[in-house]
Structure 1
């Protein structure tokens, strides 16, 4: 819906998308995904020049975090919506981020024009979610642009709503959009009306709503989600989930080879599939069929796929050498160690030598090789790294860099906008030069980091609690001091060790 104009071509343009940072977009996690699958990709070193391209950047927070954390990089971010680009440029200017360009462009026609010629050849490219929300002509334009701008050996991240997981909800999305656009001109009012219609039909016994477990989950879960997200997810005219094989076939038009998913645990069928499922998976050698089997077995609504333009296999033993050289950086405190792992049968508890390795890894940055050398009885370095990174307890880097002033400026700016804990949680990140990526962080941590960068210390927690309680009910206000105290105990020492807050 476009509020009375048609320049959006069926894409939502009258409501800006939510801000977000997603770790799967970071070069370090993409390199790890390639390495786990035995594909050559180089982990960027501190201060190493790198060219990063994001297509469909929304409000640009992910691109800004990466640019701020890595001032030697050249980051280019493209979006169709001028409101997104204007807002992203304003944040870049306010935080003094000079190594990023935001371009307003139509991806269906960008390839080959003057604006595209100015975009540097990319080492890493990311497209988060955009493939699901655009029409065939835009997808074709994306492929043309990738063919033009991804260097040989370049890595591409592409995420999208996946089939067959979304199969049962395709009818629901159409119902929400069609009902919503008849009920209201503005998209956010339309999606609310469309979801109300779907819930009413569900209550009235609508067969195709009641027989889909995914629809039943969504009808409840959407009550807690931000209207900005819901509008873009459900009100785009060209919304279409996709099978992995069809996306891979399209990417082949840019000479891109599918190599992995950016979710490290998904590189281990022994962890993701039951014994019977794994036997069927291993009947096939080609990756499209294997991924179809896995998508059929798992409840994988959203895929984060990794492609390489000219994938090169590592020599025997080289994968483990590269893993051993990586530095594991804990992003949670030792007290937060989580050894529960989702498996086909439910949840498995990690124990033994792997649990001991995980606990030691959270004590502080260390190379994978050094950690494994201290535990000679445990040999699977790949599984250790996949579990820690895949459960969001650690990140990998080539070697830690000191916090860049640009990272401090962005963190202070973003945290300075937090006025209360009220409202949608979002998925944001703190710029961290030590990891060369973003640290997943809720509003509370953004607020605390900004205050500490402004010179305040932990003894100001009482005033922080008062500020963050604005708009909360009494029960919520009572919880805030304890939430702050826990963050000061568990996360602030870690942020201090990484240089994100002052020593």
Structure 2
């Protein structure tokens, strides 16, 4: 059930803890460059201000602060429980360059509390836009207008139309059935979803003929209860068309640039030849995105906006991207050169395979990788494939030592992991080299904390005993296999990024 002060937003159960790499400054910068927009990227020793609106429990903001100790990070949420959790983690890790602020975004821009929010270079709103009412959205725009510097980058993710059209009825059914039952919002969501499953089993036309609704009814059975309560039990839930979001952001002088999911900026990988032929007859970028959304099952958009777009020629864009450094986040043995995309299975050609293999032995500059294939010069394609396939990330400080703030936070996050049976989403580990978090499941967080505490991999058997204390004996061998695989594949990456000592 919602709280009286929550304005219809779920506030009686905390949201899931998670890290989303699209919120990272480097990913925002790549989107801008891909969209031929100049970026003022902070240097290794520069300061910057990062702002997250609707921060939830604050994991992403904490990873940003710990990875960038010279930066100022502000994390804002309406739910005091979220702020308490985030602030508690900050205190436990002694992260001093982050401020958690409980505030109503509908009113914040005009309040005295706004003085506590410094002008931002990077802003992120993950999911918030879809779960709040029109007054809050308007307040967000006012705050962005007041608190973004010229050249600032803003990431906004939201449930997108028309892809979510097929599930609007499902959300309404779950919400209406749930709010008429008793208990917390997570229990209410389960009541509503149970009714949806009954209707589907009875052959209800909407839940059987709508592919998305039918898929969601089945997949929600294994999803986090915290996520389901926030997705389905908020009174103001509403997906959006990209054109409408772009129009509202324009009121804060923010121009849309591109997607924070790099491959989505390549029509040849997203659309069929026939679909591209239709889109290519139009030059307006907003209309082109609408055409793309009409062709793709893109339920969640990750849009990047800039305050004051400075357009680049292709040669200028390519030169800027060639200077980017990428670091591998998988081992060379995990190289993938076939990537599934909406247009089909993309098979990388031999020159691209050569460059990708070299990147996994990195760090490496994009320009140096391109030099391995003379005559081939498409830096946007190369960096997009490496990053989007989750084999590399952009390094903000390729040679940086890990600061103690990052080590402290990584210990705090890892020490909370007590069992592999815990149902937790993928979170992260702070990395100064990345300037953000490295996506890491609880097991990898646990291993990182143990290594930071001075233990070595030869303690893996003791780790297995700790992690499987509440797991059935017949499943211990599975746990042993999972732990040894993580040690073999993930620890070398943690060392390469200086997250753990050599």
TM beyond 0.5: yes
Cα displacement string for residues 6-48 of structure 1 (whole angstroms, at most 9, x for unaligned residues): 1111000100000011000000010011011110112322221
Match of 1:269 in 2: 267
**Matches of 1:291 and 1:282 in 2, distance apart?**
11
Partner of 1:144: 142
For 1:32-431, list aligned pairs within 5 A: 32-400=30-398, 401-431=400-430
Distance between the aligned counterparts of 1:40 and 1:296, measured in 2?
29
Measure the CA separation in 1 of the matches of 2:467 and 2:213. 35
1:254 Cα deviation from its structure 2 partner: 0.6
Task: Name the CA distance, whole Å, in 2 between partners of 1:296 and 1:30.
Answer: 24
Match of 1:482 in 2: 481
3-state SS of the aligned residue for 1:317?
helix
Give the Cα separation in 2 of the matches to 1:456 and 1:280.
59
Counterpart of 2:497 in structure 1 is: 498
Q: Once superposed, what is the RMSD of the aligned Cα atoms?
A: 1.1
After TM superposition, give the deviation of residue 351 of structure 1 in Å: 3.1
CA–CA distance in structure 1, aligned partners of residues 394 and 321 of structure 2 = 9
Q: Is 1:465 the equivalent of 2:464?
A: yes
8 Å CA contact retained: 2:397, 2:432: no
Give a deviation string over 1:379-405, Cα, whole Å, max 9, x none: 212111001101111111243211010
Q: Deviations along 1:436-467, whole A, 9 cap, x unmatched?
A: 11111111100000011111100100011111
SS of aligned partner of 2:110: coil
Shift of 1:151: 0.8
Deviations 1:353-400 (Å, cap 9, x if unpaired)?
A: 111111110012011111112221432121110011011111112432
Q: Partner of 2:453 in structure 1?
A: 454
* Structure 2 unaligned spans of 5+: none
Report the Cα offset of residue 117 of structure 1. Answer: 1.6
Residue of structure 2 in register with 1:14 after alignment: 12
Residue-pair matches, total: 501
More displaced 10-residue stretch of structure 1: 386-395 or 308-317: 308-317
- Return 5+ residue gaps in structure 1 as ranges: none
Q: CA deviation at 1:315?
A: 3.6
